[in-house]
Amino acid sequence: MQVFDRALLRRRRRRAAAGLGDHDFLFTEVAARLRERLGEVQRSFSSVLEMGSRRPVIEDFSGKGGAMDRLVRSHFGGGDAAGSGAATPVTALEADEEALPFAPDSFDLVVSNMALHWVNDLPGCMIQVNRVLRPDGLFLAAMLGGETLKEMRAALMHGEMEVENGASPRVSPFADIRDIGNLLQRAGFALPTIDRDEITVSYRDMFHLMHELRGMGETNAVLARRKTTLRRDTLMAAARYYSDNFTAGDGPGDGEGDGRITATFNVLYITAWAPHPDQPQPLKPGSATTRLADALGVTERK
Amino acid sequence: MTDETGKPRKKTEAGSIDLKLLEILVCPVTRGPLEYDAAAGELISRKAGLAYPIRNGIPIMLEDEARAIED
């Protein structure tokens, strides 16, 4: 299903690339959190694909237990100037997460920082990631999901209802943990786990937040969006609603609020493995050799 | 790749590619093999009839950016 205008997304990212350094807080923060998760994995990786990361999780070739053989960075619009000034040349290419140009079994780690929430065909993308991974390879990804930008969604809807008596999709639809878990399983991944992190950021006002999103190249690219820009009075009404309802520091014990608004970002973290016979498997039903009643020390009653 | 005089042609930085990457690259449309045309700085997928450009050493593996070729 086509939800997102990928060509538009690519243009926006390219436009944002030069000034991304001023707006990369979220990308950098989540990259660090992914790095932490990777550090907990008792494994070294030799062939790595960093897929669609605007800020890299893997900064160089120095992996645990020896250097990597191969580190490939794929981007879709506005790459992070890969190779420029880096001591080790990193192999970069432009690729679509929906049509990966890699042979099967090419990598033992695919890591992706905040790219998957713009993918139309998430099941297809996951199947492809599974295919380019070697058996027992790791897929580690972070993407926006759930209640991300719920405040702005509410404010824009309110503004449009108030001024124009109608509303249109202004904020991307996001997947939630359950959806992603199902997709991973259907894509054939083993041992998938997903967890969620909430990052709340404060901004001066809604316009400041919108400026930031534009700087990140993350503004609305929903196909069904209205092609006209938001009317000024609609925007003003939305901004007013935002400031009235979602202000930082006005909870009890927070002292006097500074009038800044808050924006919620839900980050979903995916950990999943390409299947391998040595991984823990569920036993076949009926294959038990001990009775549950014995293990529990109770008498079995029929 | 040689030119008419038989001497190795000097590869331009813009169209050259990391050979380690070439080992694992396939056509994103057909998943078939790619041929590296160093002179043109392109990766060619015969099956898809497409030539993917290499810009500043970066292969652009996107169908929208590829050049249609005739056989």
* Average pLDDT value for chain B: 82
Residue A46 falls in which region: left (phi positive, over 0), alpha (psi -120 to 50) or beta: alpha
Size of chain A in residues: 302
- Reading the block at residue A282, the tokens are 């569920």
Predicted local confidence at residue A42, as pLDDT: 87
Q: What is the pLDDT of residue A288?
A: 79
- Assess if residue B6 is contained within a domain: no
Residue A258: CB atoms within 10 Å: 12
On whether residue B56 sits in a domain, the answer given is yes
State the Cα–Cα distance between residues A158 and A210, nearest whole angstrom.
Answer: 16
**Per residue in B29-63, pLDDT tens?**
999 999 999 999 999 999 999 999 998 888 999 99
Q: Which residues in chain B have their CB less than 8 angstroms from residue A106's CB?
A: 24
B58 touches chain A (CB under 8 A): yes
Q: Which amino acid is at A80?
A: D
| CB nearest to B59's CB, from A93, A99, A103 | A93
Contact A94 B61 (CB under 8 A): yes
Query: Nearest CA to CA, how far is B37 from chain A (Å)?
Result: 17
Average pLDDT score over chain A: 87
Number of Cβ within a 10 Å radius of residue B65 = 13
User: Mind telling me how many Å the CA of A17 is from chain B's nearest CA?
Assistant: 16
pLDDT tens, position by position, A90-146: 689 999 999 999 999 999 999 999 999 999 999 999 999 999 999 999 999 999 998
Residues of A in contact with B62 (CB under 8 A): 76, 94-96
Q: Is the pLDDT of residue B8 over 60?
A: no
A23 to A7, A106, A276, A279, B24: CA distances (angstroms): 22, 33, 40, 41, 34
Interface confidence, given as ipTM, is 0.83
Q: In this predicted structure, what is the pLDDT of residue A265? A: 94
Any A CB within 8 A of B65 CB: yes
Number of Cβ within a 10 Å radius of residue A211: 16
Taking a C-beta distance cutoff of 8 angstroms, is the pair A114, A26 a contact? Answer: yes
CATH, range A6-277: 3.40.50.150
Judge whether B13 lies within some domain: no
Of B70 and A20, the one with more pLDDT = A20
Would you call A259 helix, strand, or coil by DSSP?
coil
Question: Structural domain of residue B36, as residue ranges?
Answer: 19-68
Copy the structure tokens of residue A178.
Answer: 């359950």
- Pick from A177-181, A204-208, A221-225, B56-60: least confident: A221-225
**CA A224: distance to chain centroid?**
22
Compute φ and ψ for A126, nearest 5 degrees.
-65, -40
8 A C-beta contact, residue A7 and residue A96: no
Give the domain CATH number at B61. 2.20.25.10
**DSSP, residue by residue, A95-150:** EBTTB--B-TT-EEEEEEES-GGG-S-HHHHHHHHHHHEEEEEEEEEEEEETTTTH
Percent of chain A with pLDDT over 70: 90
Contact with chain B for residue A92, Cβ under 8 A: yes
| Across A8-22, A161-175, A249-263, least confident range | A249-263
Q: How many helices (H) and strands (E) does chain A have?
A: 8, 7
- Say if CB A198 and CB A264 are below 8 A apart: yes
Residues 6+ apart with CB under 8 A from A245: A151, A154, A155
For the beta carbon of residue A281, count every other beta carbon within 10 angstroms.
9
Distance CA A290, CA A147 (A): 46
Chain A, 105-134: which have a CB under 8 Å from a chain B CB? Answer: 106
- Above 50 in pLDDT, residue B12? no
Asked whether the beta carbons of A191 and A279 are under 8 A apart, the reply is: yes
How confident is the model at residue A290, as a pLDDT? 81
Coil, helix or strand at residue A21: helix
Point out the residue among B18, B60, B61 whose CB comes nearest to the CB of A91: B18
| Lowest-confidence region among A161-170, A179-188, A190-199, B30-39 | A161-170
Query: Taking CB atoms and an 8 Å limit, are A94 and B65 in contact across chains?
Result: yes
**B70 or A215, which is more confident:** A215
Question: What is the pLDDT at residue A227?
Answer: 67
Q: Is the pLDDT at A249 greater than 80, yes or no?
A: no
Long-range pairs for A280-289 at CB < 8 Å and ≥24 separation? A280/A191
Smallest CA–CA distance, residue B57 to chain A, in Å, is 8
Write the pLDDT tens digit of every residue in A220-231.
777 767 767 778
More confident residue, A60 or B28: B28
Closest CA to A49 of A121, A100, A125: A100
Q: Which pLDDT value is given to residue A283?
A: 75
- A129 closest CA partner among A240, A119, B33: A119
Residue A65 has pLDDT above 80, yes or no: no
Least confident of A53-62, A109-118, A155-164, A259-268: A53-62
Does pLDDT of A255 surpass 80? no
Number of domains forming the structure of chain B = 1
Note the pLDDT of residue A296. 85
Please answer whether residues A263 and A152 qualify as being in contact, where contact means their C-beta atoms are separated by less than 8 angstroms.
yes
* A6-17 and A206-216 helices, crossing angle to 10°: 100
